[in-house]
Amino acid sequence: MSAAASILDVADLWVAFPSYREATIYALKGLDLRIAPGEMIGLVGESGSGKTTLARAIMGLVPPPGVIERGQVAFAGLDLRAMDEETRRGLLGRDIAMVIPNPRAELNPVLTVGQQIANIALHHLGVGRKEAMAVALDMLRAVRIPDPERRLHAYPHELSGGMAQRVVIAIALACSPKLVISDDATSGLDVTVQAQVLDLLQSMVRQKGAATLFITRDIAITAHFCSRIGIIYDGQIVEMADTRAFFARPAHPYSIMLLAAFSHNPALRARWTRGDVAIAGQRAGAGCAFAPRCVRRQPRCLAEAPELRTLGFGHQTRCHFPVQAPA
């Protein structure tokens, strides 16, 4: 995969949160990630692993006091970090769109659904107010909201969670973006609704030919929708593989731990979880970040941080002692 062929190329990205009294906290520690056009990639991690920071860093909107310390973020070959703000704002919402997890809080409470979709069209597509409203109506239809003419004039608080999520998808896809970032987008929904919305998102993205970065805590979801899966832990990718390869042969102990957590097999879960470490995210010193929680920990793991290494075709992991056999 060459850089030119990827729609998003994140390389060695460090995001720091300086703290007044204590040592600076790094949310991302030299993260690498490439997404090819049209590709749907899942990124799984616990809360605090740096998923959301990554999404924001890509858009250039790391919340203060966070700063991107170094690294590269390129979108379709354009260096997003070197870009001036106006140009970047022009890209956001048009070429890079975001689907958010909590739409009823994140949609503007005092604007109607129609106005909010139309606003995007108005500012990114350069159409008039009337046309923008037409776009909004089309999008509501496209996301299969019942009675779209009426919903156009509804306020966010008048919508159900699933319906609001559809509106967010409509906003994200209104300008046919090249990259959609979905950040835990369905975590707030009922399971049944979740499935519907995910189906919709998938079909919409496919239809528009957009690449998707699908950030989630729920590893099960990625199995259905993504072609590749990345596992993120403490600001780094610890495993990256094609979906089939990943589920067939997860290599990193953390990946296995995540999978075990979703299984309904207590024995399996117990095998992959250390009893003596309760707190996640403990500092690992010089060694592997996951070492304190790792059931397969060796002395080397505490002394030396592993590099990302390739196991097979497109399968990479960051572990001194990757799991070789099916778990």
Helix (H) or strand (E) holding 237: strand 236-242
Q: Which region, judged by CB under 8 A, interacts with another protein, from 42-50, 90-98, 213-221, 244-252?
A: 90-98
Query: According to the binding rule CB under 8 A, does residue 91 interact with another protein?
Result: yes
Q: Which stretch binds another protein (CB under 8 A): 41-49, 100-108, 211-219, 275-283?
A: 100-108
d(CA 155, CA 214): 27
108 near another protein, judged by CB under 8 A: yes
157 touches another protein by CB under 8 A: yes
Residues whose CB is less than 8 angstroms from the CB of residue 277 and which lie 6 or more positions away in sequence, other chains included: 292, 293
- Distance of closest approach, residue 300 Cβ to another protein, in angstroms: 42
Interaction between residue 120 and another protein (CB under 8 A): yes
Interaction between residue 66 and another protein (CB under 8 A): no
Q: How many Cβ atoms sit within 10 Å of the Cβ of residue 188?
A: 18
CA distance 298 to 306: 12
Q: In this chain, which of 2, 22, 23, 63 binds another protein, going by CB under 8 A?
A: 63
- When asked if residue 107 is in the footprint of another protein (CB under 8 A), the reply is yes
**Pairing of β 211-216 and β 40-44:** parallel
CB 222 within 8 A of CB 229: yes
Compute how many residues bind another protein; rule: CB under 8 A: 30
| Minimum CB–partner distance for residue 88 and another protein (Å) | 8
Near another protein by CB under 8 A: residue from 11, 38, 72, 89: 89
- Which residue lies nearer to another protein by CB, 88 or 228? 88
Q: Considering beta carbons, is residue 10 or 100 the nearer one to another protein?
A: 100
Nearer Cβ to another protein (6/112): 112
**Tokens coding 166:** 């559809």
Residue with tokens 């919903």: 151
Q: Is there binding between residue 10 and another protein (CB under 8 A)?
A: no
Rule CB under 8 A: is residue 111 a binding residue for another protein?
yes
**CA-CA distance, 17 to 296, in Å (whole number)?**
31
Dihedral over alpha carbons 57, 58, 59, 63 (to 10 degrees): -10
Helix 129-142 with 113-124: angle, nearest 10 deg = 120
Near another protein by CB under 8 A, which window of 21-29, 38-46, 99-107, 260-268?
99-107
Q: What is the rounded distance in angstroms from the CA atom of residue 129 to the CA atom of residue 135? A: 10
How many CA atoms lie within 13 Å of 165's alpha carbon, on the beta-carbon side? Answer: 23
| Contact set with another protein (CB under 8 A) | 59, 61, 63, 88-94, 97-98, 100, 102, 105-112, 119-120, 123-124, 155, 157-158, 171
